[in-house]
Structure 1
Amino acid sequence: MAGNPVHGGDEARFARDLRDEGEPEAEFHPGIAARFPRKNAAAGVLAHDEHGRVLFVCPTYKPFLEIPGGLAEDGESPLAACRREVREELGIDVTVGRLLVVDWLPAHGVWRDSLQFVFDGGVLSRERIGAIRLAADEVSRFEFLDLEAARARLRPSKARRIELAYQAFLDGETVYGEFGRRLG
């Protein structure tokens, strides 16, 4: 990740903010921080074609569709992870817009619980779509589908999350969800 900021904003501002934060707080009880739980964070984009269909990718490592994006690395913000992962998977830079959904996903099988961020990826022009060059080791193909057509090829919680994101996009709002269900 050399050369890429680990945050979603201005590098100089981030450095000033970190400096202004001061020295890290010392542990009152040594070792307690290491015992705190850690969550994964993942981020992706809800991008559309000119017909309003959603962009999905077919990962090489799982049988379900995904939206472009992926896991945040240690020290990387969800926004920066989204930009990096989309660039890696699609080979193009997508303008990542406003946050549509934050969704909590519970631990399931070998996977720990996580926070899933979905950002607005905008409308991709025919030229942008034509410029897509997939990372062959991660993505076998991409396709644009309406939500109904995609639902059978998504995990139920992912289908609910994408539907939340799509509705948030239409309504101009940001939504909080748990396991793909809107709360609050």
Structure 2
Amino acid sequence: MTDAQFDEDVRAEGEPEREFHAGVAARLPRKTAAGGALFRDEAGRILFLEPTYKPTLEIPGGNCEADESPLRACCREVREELGVDLPVGRALVVDWVPASGPWLDKIVFVFDGGVLDAATTARITADPVEVRGLVFLPLDEASRRLRPSMARRLATALLALESGETLYAEFGRPAG
């Protein structure tokens, strides 16, 4: 969706619905959201980031900013982290992650980043502030360097690629 289409959709929606009981909306719980991209190389290995700010591997992507969709957050973070605009396709996984420590519960989307050829991979310039390195690994090899929930989420994303369906998960495990 383009910015112009989004703006038109917002205008077409009209005035926000009024609360019948003042303050209800402010009392509702808040969730965060994030979007990441599952990029693979021609051998089927997954592109992982070695972040500068944590010991575990991550896929390109990140948390949504205020009033930003998970897809737009994913595209923005891919551009910031990899230094190149890459197409991001359909949603593979919608995963609910429970609260942990200071972090609220959240909804994490994994989108299909497709297969990167050697020429595209050569154009990637990782952001040195956030990314220490990039590596393509098969999921089974990467699993020991991932949080268990991320390993499960990516296994679910690979199932979604095979099935052609978007899968719902809870803490990385397919549900429903």
Q: TM-score range by the shorter chain?
A: over 0.9
Paired with 1:92 and 1:171, the residues of 2 have a C-alpha distance of: 29
Which of 3, 20, 30 matches 1:11? 3
Which of 29, 41, 64 matches 1:49? 41
Over residues 15-47 of structure 1, what are the superposed CA-to-partner deviations in whole Å (9 max), with x where a residue is unaligned? 221111111112222222111111110001110
Paired with 2:60 and 2:125, the residues of 1 have a C-alpha distance of: 13
Paired with 2:126 and 2:9, the residues of 1 have a C-alpha distance of: 36
Paired with 1:141 and 1:16, the residues of 2 have a C-alpha distance of: 40
Letter of the structure 2 residue corresponding to residue 90 of structure 1? L
For residue 134 of structure 1, report the CA deviation from its aligned partner: 0.9
Query: What percent of counterpart residues are identical?
Result: 59
TM-score, length-normalised on structure 2?
A: 0.97
Paired with 1:68 and 1:11, the residues of 2 have a C-alpha distance of: 22
Matched, 1:79 2:77: no
SS of the aligned residue for 1:103 comes to strand
Aligned to 1:117: 109
Over residues 54-111 of structure 1, what are the superposed CA-to-partner deviations in whole Å (9 max), with x where a residue is unaligned? 0000111111000000001011111111100011000011110111000000001111
SS of the aligned residue for 1:83 comes to helix
Aligned residues: 176
- Listed as ranges, the matches of 1:1-184 within 5 Å are 9-184=1-176
In structure 1, the gaps of 5 or more residues are 1-8
Paired with 1:15 and 1:84, the residues of 2 have a C-alpha distance of: 18
Q: Which stretch of the first structure deviates more once superposed, 15-24 or 53-62? A: 15-24
SS of the aligned residue for 1:73 comes to coil
In structure 2, the gaps of 5 or more residues are none
TM-score, length-normalised on structure 1?
A: 0.93
Over residues 97-129 of structure 1, what are the superposed CA-to-partner deviations in whole Å (9 max), with x where a residue is unaligned? 111000000001111100000000011111111
Aligned Cα RMSD in Å? 0.9
Letter of the structure 2 residue corresponding to residue 19 of structure 1? R
